[in-house]
Amino acid sequence: MAGRKKLNVGMVGYGFMGRTHSNAFGKVNRFFDLDYEPVLKAVCGRDKEKVESFAKTWNYQSSETDWRKLVERSDIDLVDIAAPNDTHAEIAVAAAAAGKMVMCEKPLGRNAAESAKMTEAVERAKVPNMVWYNYRRVPAVTLAKQLIDEGRLGRIYHYRAKFLQDWTISKDLPQGGTGLWRLDAGVAGSGVTGDLLAHCIDTALWLNGGIDKVTAMTETFVKERMHNLTGKVEPVGIDDASLFLARFANGSLASFEATRYARGHKALYTFEINGEHASIFWDLHDLHRLQYFDHRDQGIVRGWRSLHITDGDHPYMAHWWVPGLQIGYEHTFVHQVADFLDGLASGKAAAPTFQDALATDRVTDAVLRSAKNGKWEQP
Amino acid sequence: MAGRKKLNVGMVGYGFMGRTHSNAFGKVNRFFDLDYEPVLKAVCGRDKEKVESFAKTWNYQSSETDWRKLVERSDIDLVDIAAPNDTHAEIAVAAAAAGKMVMCEKPLGRNAAESAKMTEAVERAKVPNMVWYNYRRVPAVTLAKQLIDEGRLGRIYHYRAKFLQDWTISKDLPQGGTGLWRLDAGVAGSGVTGDLLAHCIDTALWLNGGIDKVTAMTETFVKERMHNLTGKVEPVGIDDASLFLARFANGSLASFEATRYARGHKALYTFEINGEHASIFWDLHDLHRLQYFDHRDQGIVRGWRSLHITDGDHPYMAHWWVPGLQIGYEHTFVHQVADFLDGLASGKAAAPTFQDALATDRVTDAVLRSAKNGKWEQP
Amino acid sequence: MAGRKKLNVGMVGYGFMGRTHSNAFGKVNRFFDLDYEPVLKAVCGRDKEKVESFAKTWNYQSSETDWRKLVERSDIDLVDIAAPNDTHAEIAVAAAAAGKMVMCEKPLGRNAAESAKMTEAVERAKVPNMVWYNYRRVPAVTLAKQLIDEGRLGRIYHYRAKFLQDWTISKDLPQGGTGLWRLDAGVAGSGVTGDLLAHCIDTALWLNGGIDKVTAMTETFVKERMHNLTGKVEPVGIDDASLFLARFANGSLASFEATRYARGHKALYTFEINGEHASIFWDLHDLHRLQYFDHRDQGIVRGWRSLHITDGDHPYMAHWWVPGLQIGYEHTFVHQVADFLDGLASGKAAAPTFQDALATDRVTDAVLRSAKNGKWEQP
Amino acid sequence: MAGRKKLNVGMVGYGFMGRTHSNAFGKVNRFFDLDYEPVLKAVCGRDKEKVESFAKTWNYQSSETDWRKLVERSDIDLVDIAAPNDTHAEIAVAAAAAGKMVMCEKPLGRNAAESAKMTEAVERAKVPNMVWYNYRRVPAVTLAKQLIDEGRLGRIYHYRAKFLQDWTISKDLPQGGTGLWRLDAGVAGSGVTGDLLAHCIDTALWLNGGIDKVTAMTETFVKERMHNLTGKVEPVGIDDASLFLARFANGSLASFEATRYARGHKALYTFEINGEHASIFWDLHDLHRLQYFDHRDQGIVRGWRSLHITDGDHPYMAHWWVPGLQIGYEHTFVHQVADFLDGLASGKAAAPTFQDALATDRVTDAVLRSAKNGKWEQP
């Protein structure tokens, strides 16, 4: 441990995601034995007072109010982007050009075109890069990947995923500005498609391979909202709900849905995959469980197994507490940092890279195209 | 009770559905106080020995081997059709022409064209008619309808339904003949679309109103199967899986899916409806429960309520046992007969009538068209 | 089937249990292929009008108002006792003396002394006899028995059972008379101990063997209630709640509880049994499921399995519908009749016999003694 | 924040609990805005190499190998005891005598006599003190307390709690030494009674008030195990399972159970409380949920509500992420530190104090006495 290499982190953004990333960088070496140790060198945000307060709370050594300065600092090894979507491309391209490693909150860009530029930039600069699709690192989801890779499911017939929230149902909710930029199409790029559906797609591409084509439908239920930055009632440009059917390259059929208008669900991301021999179901509201059905079990005692993913032989869990004691949402970010640092040590990039995230954005673009033109579209 | 009017029933078919209907006719007057009493006059089937055995078991007074004879018998008031789909239209039209009341197992016809003829026939003859979409009569589902009709959900945003089975995954399963006619496109009309999806659509039209348009996808995973009647390996004409997205007339977005390739599910029919104020979820595998979420509950104790639908004030339940004691699948058929008989007494037809079932078949036809041409289709 | 032997049934009682028994006798031959066929010969009740109405509804050929006449009738083979507890002993002893087979609703007597007399009577008369502890015939519970008998659980460490209801919490509920005799100690014998706890004990003795000793606690939360028969507020003599700890002969430790003051539970009978290798949990509110955990499963996919007990290879289920479609409470009585009739045919008595039920009453007596004297008691 | 007062912490122990406490001290100021800030000054353990490694991992400024030195250090404000049970009393008494604040892992002492001495010591020294019964700080459990305090449940009839594990079933598991001192009666004091049952009792006394009397039963299923420290097979002195019935001062009846022989459960701590109007159920395996039933809900939509305790208005949750995203086990320790620090600032001691924990030990002592003598015992 004495010999851990320092990795100087410069973070852009201090909102919700700034907190999850900072927590992860700060905790990772307590629980994982790694060759690298992140050092919270600087955090950057436009509001000087807020960013300094954040720096104090999270033990950053310094703060900046201009991300260009951060990117230029010679004492920064890694730029982590946790600011709103409209900042991702410019910062990532500049950081790569400056030879920094780049981590970026999802979605990568506001659309595939932006993501392609970002991907090109990090690949040209040959810098390690990663996108924070954190749900891959829920131990139950990682176990699902392991079970699929072991071939336990056999030929895959069906995949279905949904991400349901209910926080924007009120017409009185404004759009834009701090905490609400996700409702501002200019900043976010899209609505639930890039926000929630992108998570579903990232997991699906990882677990089930490529998507061949999609047919989609979107809706904006509340057409106008007060805009926080202009003070005026303005049209809402984002999609409130987005659904699509898909065919995967492996021949399986799929159904995807994301919405912020599903009363009773706060962050209900679920997926199910049905194979010839076995099926898997997972649910973010009980993220520490995985449902598994194996048809090869003896008939009279065959049933869905509720796996409590807290054992030492479950992915990541040996690093935490003892069997029976669950971890939560924030731990997925710690796992992602641990894997990224492991990737640095081994020289083998940890997924999802920018390239992987670009594939997701190509699907979300196809979804939005199909929703507009009513046709099946290829990503 | 002494004054109950006799209703002489002639049943066509003695398979799975023949049993559920017979059980319902036999039980209904034990549990419901009605003006009418079904009398099991005759059952008809092509195999003389089998139909006689069935008649003995179920206390039918007589049996027939030619449905035309049954339809012509003057001692029959009601013809109930529980034979394979390819027989529905001819029998129903003849029965109506003979002035009989007609009940028909779902789907009504093999396609909307057949159903339209059947509907025309019963309406021309002005005979009471009904289709056995039994899941409307699960007390939990009936309660869902009641809660929606009371306006508790407010504006509806989302509807999603699926019907998942796994019994045809094996390639060794043959098609056609007794017990397997549902895999024979000529007999069944379609695969899961007319079989399982039709249930989902019937419930949805009832709970959420009309469907404006759909985009669909179907698949036949096993392309060839031994045919029981020809003894040869023949192409499989049915759809093994069928998914569609839809827009309802009320503006809500929907996702539907039916398959016989979802490992781990035997008859998992579920639906969920999300409204502005409240949401409802139901699941056939625990049919005696209804999940209900009401956002108007106080915040700190707001959550999905698991309603155990066994109380006397729940639909139909005062007729059965005591609170806490569940009923099962077969009871839905008893409720359907009870409502039909009530309809005879009141003169107000009990739904779903042939007309209602025709609306469902128009949606399934649109689904199959869309799956072929890749376009959005209107029912 | 033509050759089925008729078994003429005379039923005493037409309340809740009269309905469940009548339904079972009437349905059993529709679903089970048996050598015997019950014939509903006569039903007996003190109120002439009510008993005649009941006879019509349930197709009894005749009715009686004096159980002694019923017992004396030469056209009755089997006397079934579904009247309140205080009538059981006298009727059963007389029926046995008259050479009738006897079936008796549980508990057998109001206490072990009564039960012993009844047991002695049927054994002296050598007449087939059975007590309606119907929960043994829930398919999930029967499967639990099968799994235990196969030795899957290994050495047993723990057994815990509870039966929770909430219907007597209101102080305004009277005691005594129709529908409320279970609150009248003179009629019922005891409160929840003989009513609910007796079910738990019957199942436990069946699944886990004999009980060596118990320490118990009871309580009557509402001390006085209006008595329906006297019109006066009178002391409540029954126990509202009854809990005990026990040691089984096999060395396992147990906890039992029954109450009518557990808000939120209508008939929540649950049991769990923990063995060296496997554990089983069951719950009456979802009676069609069995939870099974097997430690011999591979570690990473080890979890509680939710078995949906609707498959053809599950106990009794081949007689009903198709996989995925659940049965309910009433079916347990049908199974009990089927097993009784099978026992007649095979000459091997179906359990639980009077002798078996006496063993249960010895435990409930020990529980009540211990609750009084504060000491460990042996049954 | 700039003005936060430093609180210098000296920790004794570096095992499982040493990690949970260290994590809590390190995280608390990132998530809670507090007047005090713990500084990890020193950690103490007998193995020099291990304690130094632990100190590095967790950022302790120094380490000690003799707890007496730690207690004497003038730069330590608070001594936190996370070492095995047999060290608690001596360290706590010395720390209090040295004027240090004292936090102690549960159970307080190995028996009530030890706990009484410890309590006397901290009260004599008038030093802030607290025992780590962390489950009080699960947000769902804290919410349960709040709902009870608001009087929502009305008169309480029943309380039942159990803590089920299965990790000691194998006979090959040795006793004693690192990681296994809980099986060594000399070190642990008792088996599951002081380990698991103590958690159940602490919560129960907090939620439901004092216990008047108990009747208990314990068992040691595996009588001899290899002892790691002696290398010999030696008698097992601890209780493997412990059950008791109780009467609370408020008149409610209770059932408690703890075991390490319940196959299928790793840390299944559950409690349920039934009141006149409402009931509550909680389960450590899904600690982020609370089940709540309120009889005052309208009848047709009355059911158990599954509360997903992730909203900002739920206890502690505003400090973490966003609605829908769950926290885990470790957060309960962070909450406990936050409350302790708040107590320092406000001058109002945060519970459970040593005095509170002594009350729990008096119950566990009564349980062990009753299990021996077969009589009802008073705590």
Binary contact (D311, B300; C-beta < 8 A) = yes
**Residue D333 one-letter amino acid:** F
According to DSSP H, which parts of C16-87 are helical? 16-31, 48-58, 67-72
Q: Which of B253, B263, B275 has its CB closest to that of A243?
A: B253
Q: State pLDDT tens for residues B37-56.
A: 999 999 999 999 999 999 99
For residue A203, is it left (φ>0), alpha (ψ between -120 and 50) or beta? Answer: alpha
Q: State pLDDT tens for residues B298-341.
A: 999 999 999 999 999 999 999 999 999 999 999 999 999 999 99
Q: Which of C27, C268, C308 has its CB closest to that of B266?
A: C308
Residue B224, min C-alpha distance to chain A (Å): 17
Q: Residues of A at the D interface (Cβ-Cβ below 8 Å)? A: 1-2, 16, 19-20, 22-23, 26-27, 29-30, 53, 56-58, 165, 167, 265-268, 284-289, 308, 310-311, 320-331
As given in the structure block, the two tokens for residue C157 are 């460490």
Residue C314, min C-alpha distance to chain A (Å): 6
Confidence grade of residue B1 (pLDDT, cut at 50, 70, 90): very low
Binary contact (B262, A157; C-beta < 8 A) = yes
So what's the pLDDT on residue C191? 97
Residue D89, min C-alpha distance to chain B (Å): 40
The predicted model gives C297-321 an average pLDDT of 98
So what's the pLDDT on residue B116? 98
The residues pairing with A101 across neighbouring beta strands, listed in sequence order, are A78
Q: Which of C251, C263, C278 has its CB closest to that of D276?
A: C263
C-alpha dihedral sign at B146, B151, B154, B156: positive
How would you write chain A as a 3-class SS string? CCCCEEEEEEEECCCHHHHHHHHHHHHHHHHCCCCEEEEEEEEECCCHHHHHHHHHHHCCCEEECCHHHHHHCCCCCEEEECCCHHHHHHHHHHHHHCCCEEEECCCCCCCHHHHHHHHHHHHHHCCCEEECCHHHHCHHHHHHHHHHHCCCCCCEEEEEEEEECCCCCCCCCCECCCCCHHHCHHHHCCCHHHHHHHHHHHHHHHHHCCEEEEEEEEECCCCEEEECCCCCEEECCCCCEEEEEEEECCCCEEEEEEECCCCCCCCEEEEEEEECCEEEEEEHHHCCEEEEEECCCCHHHCCEEEEECCCCCCCCHHHCCCCCCCCCCCHHHHHHHHHHHHHHHHCCCCCCCHHHHHHHHHHHHHHHHHHHHCCCECC
From B104, B43, B36, select the one nearest B73 (Cα to Cα): B43
Closest residue in B to A214 (Cα) is B217
Confidence grade of residue A1 (pLDDT, cut at 50, 70, 90): very low
Q: State pLDDT tens for residues A152-175.
A: 999 999 999 999 999 999 999 999
Q: In a mutagenesis test of the C interface, which of D173, D270, D274 is the best target, namely the one with the most C β-carbons within 10 Å?
A: D274
Closest residue in A to C307 (Cα) is A303
Residue D210, min C-alpha distance to chain C (Å): 18
Which chain A residues contact residue D16 at CB under 8 A? 321-322
B34-68 core/surface letters (b: 16 or more CB in 10 A; e: else): bebebbbbbbbbeeeeebbbbbebbebebbbeebe
So what's the pLDDT on residue C309? 98
Closest residue in D to C275 (Cα) is D263
As given in the structure block, the two tokens for residue A254 are 């799929």
So what's the pLDDT on residue D1? 43
Distance CA A319, CA A321 (A): 7
So what's the pLDDT on residue B344? 97
As given in the structure block, the two tokens for residue C17 are 């249990």
Q: What percent of chain C has pLDDT over 90?
A: 98
Q: In a mutagenesis test of the A interface, which of B170, B197, B200, B217 is the best target, namely the one with the most A β-carbons within 10 Å?
A: B217
Binary contact (A301, C292; C-beta < 8 A) = yes
The predicted model gives D300-304 an average pLDDT of 98
Pairing of strands B5-12, B78-81: parallel
Which chain A residues contact residue B160 at CB under 8 A? 162, 257
Confidence grade of residue C179 (pLDDT, cut at 50, 70, 90): confident
Q: Which of C56, C58, C321 has its CB closest to that of B329?
A: C321
Distance CA D118, CA D94 (A): 9
Q: What percent of chain B has pLDDT over 90?
A: 98
Q: What percent of chain A has pLDDT over 90?
A: 98
Residue C339, min C-alpha distance to chain A (Å): 21
Binary contact (B306, D306; C-beta < 8 A) = yes
Confidence grade of residue D2 (pLDDT, cut at 50, 70, 90): low
So what's the pLDDT on residue C1? 43
So what's the pLDDT on residue C3? 78
Q: Which of D292, D299, D300 has its CB closest to that of B301?
A: D292
Binary contact (B322, C57; C-beta < 8 A) = no
Q: Which of C299, C301, C306 has its CB closest to that of A303?
A: C306
Write down the mean pLDDT value for chain D: 97
Write down the mean pLDDT value for chain C: 97
Determine the length of chain B. 379
So what's the pLDDT on residue D145? 98
pTM listed for this prediction: 0.97
Which chain A residues contact residue D288 at CB under 8 A? 326, 328
Q: State pLDDT tens for residues A86-102.
A: 999 999 999 999 999 99
Distance CA C252, CA B100 (A): 65
Q: State pLDDT tens for residues D333-363.
A: 999 999 999 999 999 999 999 999 999 999 9
The predicted model gives D192-210 an average pLDDT of 98
Q: State pLDDT tens for residues C187-220.
A: 999 999 999 999 999 999 999 999 999 999 999 9
